[in-house]
Structures are given as C-alpha cells and as structure tokens.
Amino acid sequence: MLLFLGKGGAGKTTLAAASGLRLAQAGERVLIASIDQAHSLVDVFAGDAGTEDPSGIRSIAPGLDIVEIDTLALLEARYRGLGALMAVASTGHEHGVSFGAIEPEELLGLAGVEELLGMHEIRRLADENRWDTVIVDLPASADALRTLHLPDTVAAYVERIWPLHARMVAGTGSDVRLTLVVAMIERILAEVDSVRSLITDFDRTGATVVVTAEQLSVADAERTLSAAALLGIGVDRVLINKVLPRLNSTSIGLVGAHPAVFWFERWRAAQLDAVGELRRRIGTVPIVEVEHAAGEPVGLQSLQDVADRLEPDSLERHAPGRGEQPSVVLESGRGLESVYAMRMLLPVADSTTLGLGRVEDDLIVSADGRRRRIKLASVLRRCVADSAELDGPCLVVRFRPNPDVWPL
C-alpha cells in the first residue's frame, strides 16, 4: 500500500494518478483509492474514467483501477443490520436506548467515523490481493495525519473508558443489550486494530509526501515527516511538485530580455532555494523533483506526460524493513545497575517540541504537535525513564530498573 500525503488539492491527486499509471505500465496491478471526501480522482481522469461496477471500482487502463470510497454507503451497509438487532434487544425496556431510531446519516457527524470507515475499506481491498499496489489518496496533511492516528486514538480511549476486563464481565451477564454492545465494540476494535497493523507494517505500507517548491512547504514537509515517523509510518520519498523548468537558449532568444523572463527566472531561483533547503533539512528521505506541466494534467494523455517526468527509481519501494519500530537493547550493567535504551526513528523532529510522559505501561512521546502512545517492552515496564536525547535521526530513551518492582 502506498499512502499519498500532502497539502491536498489536485496536485497530490494528479501525482497519485500518474504514479499509478506508471506502475501499471511496468506490469503491476494497481488500484488508486480516494478517501478524501472532496473527491477529485475521477475528475483527474476526466472522460477516461469509464463507468463504475457495482462495487464502485472503475477500470481506467490495463492493470489500473480507481475507486472513490463512499463512506455513507459503507455506514448504511454495516449499521442497519446491527441497529435493527439493537432495537429488538431494547424492546420492552422503558429507559433503553432506541438504536433503531438512529439513522446512519446522523452517525457521520461523529468525529472520525468517516475516516475509520474509509481506512477499514482500504484494508479490506488490500487484503483481497487483486492488486499488487493500492495507492491511497488521503485528505490534506492535517486531516490525513489525524486519520492515520485514529486507530491508536480510538483503541486507547476505549481501553481507558471501558477496559477489556470490565467489558468481558459486562458481556457475560444476563443483560442482552450489554452483551450486544460489548460484541459491537469488540468488532469495532478488531477492525481498528487491523487498520493500525496495516498502516504500521513497513513490509506492506509506505508513504509519499507531496509538497511544492516553496519555503512554507519546507516547514510543512518537516512536520509531516516528523508526524509520520512518530506514528510508525515509513516514508519512501518526497515529491516536489510543479518545479519550473530551466529556460533554454532558444526560449530566451525568442523573447529576448523581456520582463517575463526575469520574473520567471526569479521565481525558479526561489523554488531552487526552497528545494535546496528541503534537501538540507530532510536528508534521510529521497527527494524527487517533478517539473511543472505545460497544461493542466487531466485525462490519460496528460497524465502520461506527468508519469514520464517521474524518475523510474522514484517509484521503487525500499526493501522490507526500511523503517524501524522502537527497539530495546541492554547498554550496560546487570541487575539494578542495568541501563536499557529504547530507540525509535524520529528523523526531522524539532527538538524543542519533544516531550515524554508515562502512563502505566505506556510511554507517551510528543513532537511537532503530535503524540504517540507506545506500549513498553516487558522489561521496561519494571523500569523508570532516566534520560532522553536525539541521536542523529533517532530518539533514544534510557531506562533504569525500579527497585520497588525489579525481581531480585
């Protein structure tokens, strides 16, 4: 699976479409899926989009399919049967909740419902194994990162508000309604966990970050890369979109010393400065420049021109294991004198925004306005955090045994 992150708009969708076209022409079976509710994927292919089958999938070209995921239809399909069952279970209870009176459209107002439904559908499509690569056109950066963090957020809050042991006790009681509620929650959590596992599986999932050649995009790209690393998402590349081409001598000769030439050159120079700054500050991720197209890239022929501008190796996924999950090693000592180090990849985080916290068996890591809750390895649960530092692209947290709980 290949996630496309960026500021949003047609540029990101265009590059996702062009990348899918390039991979399909290389012999892969590709599905491009949009979960951005401001869908523009079909618009990018224009008259070449074809008609959709009953599942909503459109065949664009040999080996290339697209789908714009309808979260309301998903909610209707999954909720109505469960809502009817819950309504039957609450019959005869004067103060029971009437689940049958709730319409699926109302549930879309709940924060995160659409995003979770969309990502679970992506997981289902990926597990069908009909395609070699599923490219996901995500919403704009902030919404995309919130979407990718939702599985962790939902699982953590459910566990905090209604822990597993309490749910199991409630689910095995005599109240049928509670049994059904527990069953529903467990089903939701299983789906959430399957989405989380896919997103953070470095062997199956990578991400492409799309930015423009502007100084403001440098900071946005850094924040996006930092957040992706914090969430455990492997980033394969950064695509810098709409870089102005170099003027050749023929072009300059045709217009001479026209003010438009100086304007164009100043604009291009500013772009190159931004690209250089991006390369300097994000040296750990491959960066690919994509020249500005001469016309609006809509339809297969125009998208082919964009696809031809993508470097062949820019679409190659890194070898399995290109990312890092947090790892733990014993650095020195024995027994109560031991020092353990937990390392996690955090390549472009602003050190001034770093924060650490501890909640029971979890370590809370904050950076650049994002937060991740990490389940500590069993040995670290009997330790206390002693120090933390950035070591190159990694955050290193050192732990020492807690004498109150350390086995003698």
Domains of the chain: which residue ranges?
A: 1-323, 327-401
**Contacts for 253 with CB less than 8 Å, ≥ 6 apart:** none
- Provide the pLDDT for residue 30: 94
Residue 137's pLDDT is 92
Task: List, in sequence order, every beta strand (DSSP E) within 180-306.
Answer: 206-212, 235-243, 287-291
**Fold for the domain defined by 327-401:** Immunoglobulin-like (2.60.40)
pLDDT by residue, tens only, the chain of 408 residues: 899 988 756 688 899 999 999 999 989 999 999 987 777 888 898 877 777 788 889 999 899 999 999 877 777 776 665 555 555 555 554 444 444 444 545 445 455 677 888 899 999 999 999 999 999 999 888 888 888 888 888 888 888 888 888 888 888 878 777 787 788 788 888 888 999 889 988 888 999 999 988 888 888 888 888 888 888 888 888 999 888 888 765 555 555 566 777 788 889 899 999 999 888 888 778 888 888 877 788 888 888 888 888 866 555 554 333 456 788 999 999 889 999 999 988 877 778 888 888 888 888 888 887 888 888 999 999 999 888 888 877 889 999 999 988 886
Q: Could you tell me if 68 and 56 are in contact, meaning their C-beta atoms sit under 8 angstroms apart?
A: yes
CA distances from 374 to 217, 310, 326, 359, 377 (A): 29, 36, 9, 10, 9
Q: How far is CA 349 from CA 228, 236, 308, 361, 388, in A?
A: 10, 17, 33, 24, 14
DSSP-based three-state secondary structure for 41: helix
CA torsion sign for 116, 119, 123, 125 is positive
> Does the CA dihedral 376-381-387-391 come out positive or negative?
negative
Domains 1-323 and 327-401 share a fold: no
Which candidate, 263, 286, 284, 242, places its Cα nearest to that of 14? Answer: 242
Cβ(67)–Cβ(306) below 8 Å? no
Laid out side by side, the sheet with 339-345 consists of 327-332, 339-345, 394-401, 383-391
Q: Do 404 and 391 form a contact (C-beta atoms < 8 A)?
A: no
Pair of tokens at residue 10:
């047609």
Joined together, the tokens standing for residue 273 give: 């400065």
Res 67: pLDDT: 93
Cβ(55)–Cβ(156) below 8 Å:
no
Can you tell me which residue has the tokens 């065949």? 59
Predicted local distance difference test score (pLDDT) of residue 318: 46
Closest CA to 239 of 25, 24, 3: 3
Burial label for 279, CB within 10 Å (0-12, 13-18, 19+), is: middle
d(CA 227, CA 233): 9
Lookup result for tokens 């689940």: 99
Q: In what order do the strands lie in the sheet with 355-359?
A: 355-359, 362-367, 370-375
Whether residue 62 contacts residue 48, with contact meaning beta carbons closer than 8 Å, is answered with no
Query: 141-158 in b/e burial notation, b at 16+ Cβ within 10 A?
Result: bebbbbbbbbbbbbbeeb
Q: Kindly report the backbone phi and psi dihedral angles of residue 200, in degrees, each rounded to the nearest multiple of 5, phi listed first.
A: -100, 10
- Whole-prediction pTM value? 0.82
Q: Topology of 1-323 in CATH?
A: Rossmann fold (3.40.50)
- Per-residue confidence (pLDDT) for residue 84, from 0 to 100: 56
